[in-house]
């Protein structure tokens, strides 16, 4: 507590800030490096940082008529209109005081923010009358219990529950009489509780009270109809706060040594454009909500200029004496942030045409800049889950993590003086105008149980661990590693397809042209004149091939992965009717790649989702469910091996057949098709061609949303078994589907016989499929989290009975539900290695989508660096047999948004990511700066003549001379005979 008070004192001694300095916030953050600035910050909070939880009296206390308590405006408001539920019982904290204290002790917080029920202490609202002794004793006991467990109270005098008698008698806060009444009430509280309370909040979120309590009527007391009333109410609230602050400052501070402030809430807003006008509109939006009360207190005692310009005579005015009286009446900045305001209670008119956002870090910086670097205590922060969510509140937990991480960034990176953070709320309770429709508590309250039992949620377990560690200390696995891959590591780039132009562009025109120098200087073709062409066509004649191979070479990759188009090669499905022109083109492409020292990796069939890539007759005849298609695929594979195999040493039979959406019957046939194709290569081509074959499985990582016990891990294991094990186990393992998958689907079978039926392998098929691989290849792009529960029906997977979720602290890519999570690749590689020990692994596709217009594609640069680094950790630290890595994708032309080459009309542009990826390849990883260059021994080319010259130089020399003589004699005889003829 002493450290906290010292921080407060130091903050009050700063120099005056320039009014409106917060306007620079948006331009400042727009210049920060992206996406590095969005990355998670591993660090800890300053020593003495205050960790708190909070509640409000009406939300949790209950006992609305017990022991002499009077009615509040909320007791009346919840009984009017269309409202059906009340806070009469809430969480029943009045009868569960010790249970609440146990919850606080379990969390390990240093502070507890709670509010006094004004009408519980003074039933008629006025301290001029007698107080309610039982109500006072309740709060005294709570404060004593807090002291016994070492938790400091942060006490709020007024949290929206005005005594109803004051509303009926005077019109509530619309009357200036309440300034004196509130001051008398505060005087009693300071005198009664002040020796044990060092942090006071006069009132919570006066914006909601004024704007919605006396304007829109959304909250109690529900007054509406007078558009000027909210501003009169706000005026009185400010005067009341100032009067109470001066009372404490003059009468109680010398003896009690506490601090007093007012809890001000705000949303955050981001500009719709980069223009200054948009920034000014954002400033105005914040001024109308937060600045309405913050500027008079923290700047100059008057309202923000934007409010004065827009409201003119509607806004009350302060006298010079009142300005001096209000200015400076806060010992710290108490900031409230969360769903009580954001996205719910901000009218469109208050957004000024801009976009609302949830960025707590930028809000903290804005307060820091706008109000002269005050000490900021976040006195409310958090999110919510649906009412039917019980203890597994993953959504709340990750938003809590996000807001705490943003607070940490504000402290460490932006030098904002944040002294404390309050998770809201301690308990589930009555959520104001949303009644019991949402839950915000760290502890679950069973409202149907007799004693309203409390049970810690996952968010409580997370928060307690975070408090214990005082933040997010960096672990060794969070740091980038240094090292290199083996010398024969395959560095590749992947593309779904290549550009096909089967007409050669060079030496094919037999016409004769002359210069038309007398007219326009252009070439003119001579009619009926042709030049006989005897030149043999070469693969290099195809301009598309030359350009693509040249671009691939420029990347310094050793491998290039692309897919053939089955339906174009064999449109009718009949091998005898194959498109030889296209096959010749593909042959030219792979041979030119090989000439450029790039190894082709060729996929026979690429799953394209709903768009079929099968020959039309096969698709019409049942597609993959037909045995004809399975046999046709084996024949197609044989044709490709025959025509291209001399230049292709890595074959992929099927690319990503395990994508979502395929029924299990189709998957079964795909496994058989793969196995037949692999067996064809193994029996007929491997010995002569010396290549390898396998399939590529889509393997985004799936992480448990929380892992506090063994049950939490089960959903992630189930998803991986049913997505990856579905194809992996029959091929790389037992020859059958994973046992967990089979048992799970058998349980689901009665619900839907068609979708959940998993075929059985005959013994013949089991032997056919098992072992049909030379390596394990995956495509990996992102990571998601899962848990048992239903929170968001759009991300709930019914067949797996899991809720999908993303950690909102992850860097989000433009692609929906595809965050950037580098460590997910390492975990995926380790999963493969754990299940199929020592199998050679290739990452056949790994990339991120970004705006095609961004040639300085910083997100992809960040992505490639970090994902490749995680792959290196898997290889060097975990012992994974990683053989190669392929970045996805080659260009935007065929893989829009993923390419490392972009296009402006006909011009090809190298993006920054291509240059960075090439640099990683050139260094074969991330060598330490002080390490010597990696020494790689290159196998010499076998040359019989060279061996003779090396071992017997005299014999070799004579042989060369003799060969030269013979060649010369042959030429003389040939040309002599030709001349004679």
885 has pLDDT over 70: yes
Tell me if the pTM is above 0.85.
yes
Please state, in angstroms and rounded to a whole number, the distance separating the CA atoms of residues 585 and 608: 23
Summary mean pLDDT of the chain: 92
What pLDDT is attached to residue 710?
A: 84
Q: Which helix (H) or strand (E) holds 830?
A: helix 823-835
Q: Do the bridges between strand 454-456 and strand 443-445 make them parallel or antiparallel, or are there none, so unpaired?
A: antiparallel
Half-sphere CA count of 602, side-chain side, radius 13 A: 25
Model confidence at 906, pLDDT cuts 50, 70, 90, reads confident
Mean pLDDT of 844-855: 96
Instruction: Tell which wins on pLDDT, 975 or 620.
Output: 620
SS3 of 193, please?
helix
Phi, psi of 112 (to 5 degrees): -130, 120
CA 722: distance to chain centroid?
24
* pLDDT tens per residue, range 394-415: 999 999 999 999 999 999 999 9
SS3 of 882, please?
strand
List CB contacts of 747: < 8 A, sequence separation 6 or more: none
Q: Do the bridges between strand 199-204 and strand 454-456 make them parallel or antiparallel, or are there none, so unpaired?
A: unpaired
Task: Indicate the domain borders of the chain.
Answer: 25-437, 488-506+533-654+671-691
765 has pLDDT over 90: yes
What pLDDT is attached to residue 661?
A: 80
What pLDDT is attached to residue 948?
A: 44
Is domain 488-506+533-654+671-691 given the CATH code 3.20.20.80 in the classification? Answer: yes
List CB contacts of 309: < 8 A, sequence separation 6 or more: none
What percentage of residues in the chain have a pLDDT greater than 90? Answer: 81
Please state, in angstroms and rounded to a whole number, the distance separating the CA atoms of residues 668 and 192: 76
What pLDDT is attached to residue 534?
A: 47
* pLDDT tens per residue, range 174-214: 999 999 999 999 999 999 999 999 999 999 999 999 999 99
Model confidence at 516, pLDDT cuts 50, 70, 90, reads low
Q: Do the bridges between strand 111-115 and strand 50-54 make them parallel or antiparallel, or are there none, so unpaired?
A: parallel
Could you give the angle at the alpha carbon of 461 between the alpha carbons of 459 and 463, nearest 5°? Answer: 65
Q: How many CB atoms lie within 10 A of CB 198?
A: 18
818 has pLDDT over 60: yes
Domain 25-437 shares a fold with domain 488-506+533-654+671-691: yes
What pLDDT is attached to residue 14?
A: 39
Q: Which helix (H) or strand (E) holds 706?
A: none
List CB contacts of 44: < 8 A, sequence separation 6 or more: 469, 470, 471, 472, 473
What pLDDT is attached to residue 971?
A: 62
* pLDDT tens per residue, range 62-116: 999 999 999 999 999 999 888 889 999 999 999 999 999 999 999 999 999 999 9
Instruction: Tell which wins on pLDDT, 539 or 353.
Output: 353
Please state, in angstroms and rounded to a whole number, the distance separating the CA atoms of residues 436 and 432: 8
- 679-700: b (≥16 Cβ within 10 Å) or e: bbbeeebbeebebbbbbbbbbb
What pLDDT is attached to residue 941?
A: 44
Please answer whether residues 400 and 423 qualify as being in contact, where contact means their C-beta atoms are separated by less than 8 angstroms. yes
CATH architecture label of 25-437: Alpha-Beta Barrel (3.20)
């Amino acid at each position: 507590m002493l450290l906290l008070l010292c921080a407060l004192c130091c903050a009050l001694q700063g120099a005056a800030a320039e009014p409106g300095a917060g306007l620079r916030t948006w331009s400042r953050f727009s210049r920060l490096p992206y996406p590095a600035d969005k990355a998670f910050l591993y660090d800890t909070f300053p020593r003495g940082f205050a960790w708190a939880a909070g509640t409000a009296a009406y939300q949790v206390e209950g006992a609305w008529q017990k022991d002499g308590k009077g009615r509040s405006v909320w007791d009346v408001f919840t009984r009017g209109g269309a409202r059906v539920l009340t806070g009469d019982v809430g969480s029943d904290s009045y009868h569960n005081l010790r249970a609440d204290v146990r919850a606080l002790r379990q969390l390990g917080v240093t502070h507890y923010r709670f509010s006094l029920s004004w009408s519980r202490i003074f039933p008629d609202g006025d301290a001029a009358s007698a107080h309610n002794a039982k109500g006072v004793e309740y709060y005294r006991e709570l404060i004593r219990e807090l002291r016994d467990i070492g938790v400091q109270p942060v006490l709020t005098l007024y949290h929206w529950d005005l005594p109803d008698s004051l509303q009926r008698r005077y019109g509530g806060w619309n009357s200036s009489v309440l300034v004196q009444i509130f001051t008398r009430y505060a005087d009693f509280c300071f005198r009664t509780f002040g020796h044990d309370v060092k942090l006071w909040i006069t009132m919570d979120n006066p914006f909601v009270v004024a704007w919605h309590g006396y304007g829109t009527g959304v909250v109690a007391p529900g007054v509406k109809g007078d558009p000027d009333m909210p501003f009169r109410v706000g005026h009185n609230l400010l005067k009341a706060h100032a009067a109470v602050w001066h009372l404490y400052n003059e009468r109680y501070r010398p003896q009690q040594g506490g601090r007093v402030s007012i809890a001000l809430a705000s949303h955050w807003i981001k500009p719709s454009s980069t223009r200054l006008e948009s920034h000014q509109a954002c400033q105005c939006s914040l001024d109308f909500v937060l600045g309405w009360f913050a500027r008079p207190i923290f700047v100059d005692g008057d309202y923000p200029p934007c409010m004065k310009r827009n409201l003119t005579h509607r806004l009350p005015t302060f006298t010079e004496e009142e300005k001096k009286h209000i200015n400076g009446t806060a010992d710290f900045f108490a900031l409230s942030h969360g769903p009580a305001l954001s996205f719910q209670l901000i009218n469109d008119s208050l957004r000024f045409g801009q976009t609302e956002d949830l960025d707590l870090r930028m809000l903290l910086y804005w307060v820091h800049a706008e109000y002269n670097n005050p000490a900021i205590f976040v006195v409310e922060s958090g999110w919510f889950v649906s009412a039917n969510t019980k203890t597994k509140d993953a959504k709340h937990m990750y938003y809590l993590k996000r807001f705490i991480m943003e607070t940490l960034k504000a402290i460490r990176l932006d030098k904002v003086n944040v002294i404390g953070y309050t998770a809201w709320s301690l308990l589930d309770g009555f959520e104001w105008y949303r009644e019991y429709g949402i839950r915000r508590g760290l502890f679950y309250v069973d409202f149907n149980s007799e004693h309203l039992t409390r049970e810690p949620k996952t968010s409580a377990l997370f928060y307690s661990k975070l408090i214990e560690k005082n933040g997010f200390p960096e672990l060794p696995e969070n740091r980038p590693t240094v090292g290199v891959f083996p010398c024969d590591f395959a560095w590749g780039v992947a593309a779904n397809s290549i550009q096909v132009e089967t007409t050669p562009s060079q030496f094919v025109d037999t016409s004769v042209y002359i210069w038309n120098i007398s007219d326009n200087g252009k070439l003119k073709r001579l009619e009926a004149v042709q030049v006989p062409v005897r030149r043999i066509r070469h693969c290099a004649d195809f301009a598309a091939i030359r350009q693509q191979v040249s671009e691939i070479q420029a990347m310094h990759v050793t491998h290039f992965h692309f897919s053939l188009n089955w339906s174009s090669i064999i449109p009718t499905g009949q091998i005898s009717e194959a498109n030889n022109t296209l096959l010749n083109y593909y042959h030219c492409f792979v041979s030119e790649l090989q000439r450029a020292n790039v190894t082709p990796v060729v996929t026979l069939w690429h799953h394209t989702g709903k768009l079929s890539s099968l020959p039309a007759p096969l698709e019409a005849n049942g597609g993959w469910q037909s045995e004809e298609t399975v046999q046709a695929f084996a024949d197609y594979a044989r044709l490709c091996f025959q025509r291209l195999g001399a230049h292709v040493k890595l074959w992929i039979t099927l690319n990503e057949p395990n994508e979502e959406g395929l029924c299990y019957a189709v998957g079964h046939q795909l496994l058989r098709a793969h196995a037949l194709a692999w067996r064809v290569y193994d029996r007929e081509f491997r010995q002569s061609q010396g290549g390898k074959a396998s399939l590529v499985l889509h393997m985004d990582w799936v992480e448990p949303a929380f892992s506090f016990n063994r049950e939490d891990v089960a959903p992630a294991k189930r998803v991986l078994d049913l997505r990856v094990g579905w194809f992996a186990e029959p091929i790389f393992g037992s020859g059958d589907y994973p046992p967990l998958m089979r048992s799970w689907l058998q349980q689901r079978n009665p619900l839907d016989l068609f979708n959940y039926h998993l075929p059985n392998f005959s013994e013949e098929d089991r032997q056919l499929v098992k072992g049909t691989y030379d390596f394990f290849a995956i495509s990996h792009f992102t990571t998601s989290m899962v848990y048992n529960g239903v929170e968001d029906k759009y991300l709930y997977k019914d067949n797996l009975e899991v809720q999908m979720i993303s950690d909102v602290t992850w860097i989000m890519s433009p692609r929906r539900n595809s965050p950037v999570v580098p460590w997910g690749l390492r975990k995926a590689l380790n999963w493969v290695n754990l299940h199929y020990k020592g199998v050679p692994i290739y990452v056949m596709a790994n990339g991120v989508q970004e705006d095609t217009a961004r040639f300085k594609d910083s997100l992809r640069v960040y992505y490639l660096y970090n994902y490749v680094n995680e792959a290196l950790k898997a290889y060097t630290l975990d012992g994974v047999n990683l053989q190669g890595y392929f970045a996805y994708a080659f260009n935007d032309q065929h893989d829009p948004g993923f390419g490392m080459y972009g296009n402006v009309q006909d011009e090809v542009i190298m993006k920054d990511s291509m240059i960075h990826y090439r640099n990683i390849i050139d260094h074969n990883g991330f060598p330490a700066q002080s390490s010597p260059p990696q020494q790689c021994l290159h196998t010499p080319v076998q040359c019989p003549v060279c061996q003779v010259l090396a071992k017997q130089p005299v014999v070799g020399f004579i042989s060369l001379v003799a060969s030269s003589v013979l060649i010369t004699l042959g030429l003389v005889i040939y040309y002599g005979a030709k001349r004679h003829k």
